[in-house]
Structure 1
C-alpha cells in the first residue's frame, strides 16, 4: 500500500485521476460502444471526456460511477478514497469538509457516494460452496443505539445476515417486506449449498421460498452454540463500529453503511486490497 505522500504525488492533478479512471474502466484501446471497433482514445480539451479515433464518439469515464455528475475536482475524490481506505472506523462528513475545503453537504455526498461504491463492489460476492463443504450461516440480530427521529421503533434496526468461513453480509430486515430481503440474500448463495439457520420461522421462510428450491439449497435448523458461527464475530464487530462512529445514521441510508462495513470486514486479513479494489473496480451506481 502506498504511503500518503506517494499517493498524493500520483493523484495530485485531475488529469492523472481521469487517466487512471479511464484505464481502470475501459483498458487500453477500448472498443467503441458506438461502432464496436477497437480505437485509440484522446482527451477532449475542456471537458472530462475522451473521443475515439474511429468514429469520434465521446465517452465519459465518470458516467454511472460514484463520480457521476460531480463538479468536485477528481483529486478531492481520490484524496477522500484514500482516507476511507486507511481509517477502519469510517469517515464522517465534517472530517471531509475540513480536509477538502468544501461544504458539509457536499462532503456528506462524497462520503455517501464512496460508501455506495464500496457496497456495489461486493455485491457480486457469493457465499457457500458445496464442492468444498463451505456451509452458509444465516440469522438475524437487533442493532440498537441508532439515533433517528420521527420513526417508529426509534433507535433499533433489525438486520438479517449471511456468512461462510470467508466473508459475511447483512441487510435491513423487515418482516412486513421479508420476501424481497430473503430473495436478495438467497441470490448470493451458490447452488446446492448447505444453509444453517437458528430460528424455526426463518427456516420455514427459506424452505418455502421459490428461489431456495430453484437453487437446491439444503436448509437445516441448528443451535449455533454447538458449532463455530462466523456470524457471531461479524455482528459483534458491526455493532461496535456503528455505535462508536455512526450514531446519527438515517434509516434511509443504513444499507450503504452496512455495505461499507461489509467491504472492510471481508478484507480484514488483506488490508492492502481495500485501496487496490477501490481504485481498480468501478461498478455502475444508479
Structure 2
C-alpha cells in the first residue's frame, strides 16, 4: 500500500487527504473518513490471486537473479504450488517485465550504431519445413534492445518495425539478408557484413552485439524452457529484453518491478 499510494493520498470518494487502514480478512484498505476501500493489488499481476505476496516477490526475485530464465517447474519446487499456478505466475511476471521495460526509439544523429538482426526460434528444423518463428532484434550499442515477433523474414514485415523503432538518419549495421536492402532508401546510413562470405567485421560494421543477445536467448530456451510456443514467445522475449536493458544496473531490477505498478484510474 505504501509503495503504490504512499502514507496518505486523496480519497477518490470524499476527496480528503486521508490515511488508509487495513481491512481485516481482505486485501484492502479503507479511508479514515468515509470508509472508501482501495485494493492495492488491483491492476497488478497479484490481482485475483490467492497466492501470498511473499511467494510472488520470491518468484520475481528469481527472475531478476537468473540470467537464463526461470522455468515453471523450478517455481513449483521452490514455493510449493501446482504447476498450473507456477506457469501462470511466470507468464504474468514476464508480461509485467515487458510493461516496466517499455520500448522507446533508438539511434539518431550522434548516437551509437544500431545493430539489427533476425533470428529463428522453435520449429522442427527439418529441410523444407518453414515452421520456425521469426523474431527481429534491434540494439543500440551501449543502449537499449528491442525485440519483436514478426510474421516472416520478408522485407515487408521487417522494414516497418525498423522504421518504427529506429530514428531516421541512424547508422544501422546488418548482415547480407535481402530484407535489409531497402534501408538506405528509407534515409538510414546502412552498413552490411556478408556472413556468407566469412565476413563478420568491416570496420565499425558488425552485428556481434545483437547476435550475442540472440545466442543467450536460444541457449536459455533450450536449457531452461526446452520449448516455447509461438503464442507466448513474445512474453519470453520481454523477460530477456528486461534483463538485457538493465544489465549494467542489475541491483535495480527487483526495485523497478516493485515500484512501477500504475495506480488504477479513479472511476
Structure 2-normalised TM-score? Answer: 0.78
8 Å contact 1:50–1:59 — kept in the other structure? Answer: yes
Cα-Cα RMSD: 3.2
Pick one of 209, 213, 219 that aligns with 2:188: 219
Per the alignment, residue 246 of structure 2 pairs with 267
Aligned to 1:88: 67
Return the offset for 1:261: 0.7
Where does the alignment leave 5 or more consecutive residues of structure 2 unmatched?
194-200
Q: Work out whether residues 10 and 18 of structure 2, in 8 Å CA contact, stay in contact via their aligned partners in 1.
A: yes
Work out the number of aligned pairs and report it.
Answer: 248
- Name the structure 1 match of 2:198: none
Return the alpha-carbon distance in structure 1 between the equivalents of residues 157 and 22 of structure 2.
43
TM-score by length of 1: 0.73
Aligned partners of 2:106 and 2:140 also within 8 Å: yes
* 1:234 to 2:210 alignment: no
1:30 is paired with a residue whose SS is strand
Counterpart pick for 2:144 among 167, 171, 196: 167
Pair 1:112-2:121 in alignment: no
Q: 1:36 to 1:141 in 2, by over 3 A?
A: farther
Indicate the residue corresponding to 1:45 in structure 2. 24
The question of 1:74 aligning with 2:53 is answered: yes
Give the drift of 1:64. Answer: 1.3
Match of 1:213 in 2: none
CA offset digits 1:84-141 (Å, max 9, x no partner): 22222111111111222211111111111111111111114442243x4234333322
Q: Where does residue 170 of structure 2 map in the other structure?
A: 194
Compare the two structures and name the one with the higher helix fraction: 1
Which of the pair has more CA radius of gyration?
2
Contact in 1 for aligned 2:114/2:172 (Cα 8 Å): yes
User: Does structure 1 retain, via aligned residues, the 8 Å contact 2:155–2:180?
Assistant: no
CA distance in 2, matches of 1:23, 1:232: 42
- String of CA shifts for 1:43-94, please: whole Å, max 9, x gaps: 1221111222354332211111111211111111112112222222111111
Q: Any unmatched runs of 5+ in structure 1?
A: 1-21, 209-217
| Correspondence for 2:116 among 138, 144, 148 | 138
Going from structure 1 to structure 2, the CA distance change for 1:46 and 1:169 (only over 3 Å counts) comes to same
Q: Secondary structure of 1:222's match? A: strand
Matches of 1:35 and 1:153 in 2, distance apart?
Answer: 60
